[in-house]
A and B are shown apart, each in its own frame.
Chain A
Amino acid sequence: MGSDVILVIVVVTALAFDFTNGFHDTANAIATSVSTRAMSPRFAVAMSAVLNFAGAFISLKVAATVGSGIVDSGAVTTTVVFAGLVGAIAWNLATWWAGLPSSSSHALIGGLIGSAFAASGPSAINVDGIVEKVLVPAAVAPVLAFVVAASTIVVIYRMVGNLRPGPVNRGYRLGQIVSGSMFSLAHGTNDAQKTMGIITLALVAHGNISPDNFHVPDWVVVASATAIALGTWTGGWRIIRTMGSRIINMDPAQGFASQGAGAAVILAASHAGYPLSTTHVISGGVMGAGAAKRVSAVRWGVAGNIVIAWVLTIPAAAIIGGIVYGVTEIFGASSALGPVIVSGMILLGSGLLFIRRAQGQGGLEATA
């Protein structure tokens, strides 16, 4: 009975993480389109929500690889997964509140590392896997996107710099609709699957699915796709504002350059089997498109805060995940009381955050 309750809590928590992933990370995909007025805020979130929903159904290959090579699969229990998810959700909410774009995938990985470490000690952590699959790509992604976006904006200004700005801006706004759509679709195929993988892992750990017959049930696919689409529809307006206008004041050509370069970097990396964070890529692209026009055009203080958030993401989510695991263990390894209490606290805390956010400012119009 207790393990059934824990499983239900894990599924609900995983869907809650998926929801935060939607409003947190998808903001990155549409921020530049919104700030250059290539799309209205409502249209941008609607388009992104639909494409995230569709993307979740396209492929299930990523779902089978969540956490693999990073934590020992033998150390993964439903309680470990629950604590890791709570670490990721808490960090996502904190960075959303601060308006800082950070990687939800890194938050999830950090949470799992912390909870697995607390459950089984250092032997549960694969340091080589973390370096290869997380840390090196995290360093490469923003630098590569920065260089490619800077190169593309130089090319754009050389090609169309002496033309009438009206039609040129209209052209690049049109291009941004396409590049933003590509970003949203790619995000849906990647990130919704991470939640599917987490829920399926919990079902395997609980015995509902045989490890020899690992498959993602249809209801998990539909629930995950719906959660990330609903999160996207809610809109991470604080992060959209940071990404779209606080790093640089962007023209449509720069918006196209950052999104186009970002999409090229993500697709090229995926093709080479090299996992990159969409958040890191688009942030690097925005900075590169600004710096190539004029180095002082980039608000380096804001950029520095974003980088600090990236560096802190894995350790912070890991610490929270570890603490949550410790708290749930106080009530017993197989007791549902710990996860119930922690879930209640998370619900209360996030409810207060959203209420304060709603009281603080209007929403869509704040970004437009």
Chain B
Amino acid sequence: MIPAEIINWDAAWQAVWTAAVSGVGITIVFSLAVLGATRTADSRRDDRPAQAVLYGAVALVAVCGTLAAVVYAITLITTK
């Protein structure tokens, strides 16, 4: 039987929710980049320039968001 007071529940809970939020969050952002890039190519092929620009902008913003997350992750690794 593990005494409950041995376990640092605050740290465990913080690890759980931040992992869940950041894992799903970065996936959504990167998937938006993939979706945007793919839709941009499809729109260009179908000769729909306005839609291509819109999806291109989505992809660009998502790539920037992904890069920001990577920089933040490197900061976490190097400062722990």
Contact = CB atoms under 8 A, between A and B. Distances in A.
Interface of A: 55, 58-59, 61, 128, 131-132, 135-136, 140, 144, 147-149, 151-152, 155-156, 159-160, 163-164, 167-168, 171-172, 175, 178, 182, 185-186, 189, 256-257, 260-261, 263-265, 267-274, 276
A99 B68 CA distance: 36
B19 A265 contact: yes
B31 A182 contact: no
A211 B31 CA distance: 51
Interface of B: 2-3, 6-8, 11-12, 14-16, 18-20, 22-24, 26-28, 30-35, 37-39, 41-42, 66, 70, 73-74, 76-80
B24 A155 contact: yes
A182 B70 contact: yes
B78 A155 contact: no
B34 A168 contact: yes
A136 B4 CA distance: 11
A264 B19 contact: yes
A186 B76 CA distance: 10
B77 to A, nearest CB: 5
A136 B30 contact: no
A167 B38 contact: yes
B23 A260 contact: yes
Given A268-B14, A271-B15, 15 more contacts: A58-B77, A132-B8, A136-B7, A136-B12, A140-B12, A152-B23, A156-B27, A159-B32, A163-B34, A167-B41, A168-B34, A186-B77, A269-B19, A270-B77, A272-B18
Nearest to A164: B38
